[in-house]
Amino acid sequence: MSFRQIKLVLQREYMTKIRSKAFIIATILIPIGLIAFIAFAAGIAMWDSEPELKIGIADQTEQLYPRLANMDADRYLDVSELSEDSLRSMVIQEQLNGYIYLRDAHVNAEQNPELVYGGSGGFALLNSIRSDLRDAIREERLQRANVSQEVQDIYASKVSLDSRKLTKEGEEKEDNTGFLSGLGMFMGVFIFTALFGYGGLLTRSVIEEKTNRIVEVIASSVKPIELLIGKMAGIAALGLTQIAFWTLAFFGISAAAAPVAAMFMDTTAEELANTAETAEGFDPAALQLPSIEPMIFVWFIVFFLLGYLLYSTFFAAVGSAVDSETDTQQFMFPIMVPIMIAYFIMFRTIESPDSSLSVIGSLVPFTSPIVMITRIAITDVPIWQISLAIILIAVTFVGAMWLCAKIYKVGILSYGKSANYKELVKWIKQG
């Protein structure tokens, strides 16, 4: 193998792509698109409101309704004067979403209250009515039991949970699990997207050489394996450049925007603190960026590169086996399946980073690039697991490279039609 040839191929691959308009536009538009998407999603979440649901309360105790009305006067209507028949017809005609009869038996916990409703509202409605009723009945019972205000206050208090992390070195740290989960998900999603993005770029680049019919000219100067390695490395370098650019841009913009953001955050925190309800269990400090272990970024780059290398062999083989981009679909499916599986395991990992599914997913080479980086971000992964994952990906990569180089070698010189799976097997045996 000649490093001179590999370097020449790498340089060409990198230089022609990095100067192309499509690449420059994508580099700028992707973060803008991402921000726009997040803003849009946040906007939707704010704009999306619970529908106004009307629940009739026929209160025979005359004590419970005022308490419920206190909680949500818009939702709970006093319908004590109406007969059950007219309530039923109101629900059927959708003037009312549902009604509940409340009796002393409910206060004494001899019976459960019963909601009769049209079925709309879902779990969210049932849960909130249940908790409202529970509170109202508890308050009423405390009142009737004639306990002191002190005890009533004890029942009214709500406890939230603060947490701190105790590291192996015995240091106590602020617990950033929420933030780190977000970071882990971001990194996992990034690698997930990058595998498809850069893999697809490589596939197209291989197909381009075939359809332009230049590949045989190249093959008369360069060994197919040199060409393959050069192209893979060129696109890896392209990916790293893009990541470096985005990272610098992120820190540059954050540095410039920090004073503005700080002002905004302060006012928000004050407002939030004023709203008693939300202030419960809410720590304004959580809005500040917690410090992140720099090693996370090192592992991120390591697993991005390993994942890319492993999958790029298959993306290159696909490119060499087909005659045009439209024929890639049949071969892309088996590549997509493990990436998608890794993506779904990642969400489980965010909830429970040390579950057996997460641990296995972070060690299996085809899922580990995505799952492992998410685990590393969220929890302390033992170094032996990280090392094992790296070794397993590396070994699998060598095997995949060996297999795919054989397909590539034959594929790039087969013109005219796309291969099928039977031919691929034949090529592997031939090589």
Partner 1 sequence: MGVIEVSGINKSFGETQAVNNVSFEVTQGRIFGLLGPNGAGKTTAIRMINNILIPDSGTITINGQQASAATQNMIGYMPEERGLYKKMKVGEQLIYLAQLKGLSRSEAKDAIRFWLERFDALDWTGKKVGELSKGMSQKIQFIATIAHDPDIYIFDEPFSGLDPINSETLKEVVLELRDKGKTILFSTHRMEQVEQMCDEICLFNKGRAVLKGDLREIKQSFGKNTINLEFQGDASFLDKLDNVRINNRSTNFAEIRVLNGQNTQDILRTAMSHAEIYTFERIEPSLQEIFISTVGEDNINPKDLG
Give the interface with partner 1 as residue ranges (CB under 8 A): 2, 5, 8, 12, 16, 20, 208-209, 212-214, 216-223, 413, 415, 426, 430
Of 216 and 270, CB closest to partner 1: 216
Residue 129: count of CB within 10 angstroms of its CB: 22
Of 217 and 257, CB closest to partner 1: 217
The residue type at 388: L
Of 91 and 322, CB closest to partner 1: 322
Q: Output the smallest distance, CB 236 to partner 1, in A.
A: 20
Q: What is the DSSP string of 14-83?
A: HHHHHTSHHHHHHHHHHHHHHHHHHHHHHHHHHH-------EEEEESSSSHHHHHHHH-TTTEEE-TTS-
Q: Tokens for 62?
A: 């005359």
CA distances from 155 to 134, 140, 149, 194 (A): 12, 12, 10, 52
Token look-up 């916990």 returns 109
Of 55 and 228, CB closest to partner 1: 228
- Are 308 and 195 within 8 A, CB to CB? yes
Q: Output the smallest distance, CB 430 to partner 1, in A.
A: 7
Q: In what order do the strands lie in the sheet with 76-78?
A: 76-78, 55-59, 98-102, 115-117
Q: Output the smallest distance, CB 322 to partner 1, in A.
A: 16
Q: Output the smallest distance, CB 21 to partner 1, in A.
A: 10
CA angle 40, 45, 48 (to 5 degrees): 115
Q: Output the smallest distance, CB 8 to partner 1, in A.
A: 5
User: DSSP character for 355?
Assistant: S
Q: Output the smallest distance, CB 407 to partner 1, in A.
A: 15
Of 17 and 165, CB closest to partner 1: 17
Of 222 and 372, CB closest to partner 1: 222
Please tell me the distance from the alpha carbon of residue 39 to that of residue 46, in angstroms, as a whole number.
Answer: 10
Query: Strands 164-166, 172-174: parallel, antiparallel or unpaired by DSSP?
Result: antiparallel
353-364 CB burial, b ≥16 within 10 A, e <16 = beeeebbebbbb
Residue 131: count of CB within 10 angstroms of its CB: 11
Of 2 and 288, CB closest to partner 1: 2
Q: Output the smallest distance, CB 413 to partner 1, in A.
A: 7
Q: Output the smallest distance, CB 216 to partner 1, in A.
A: 4
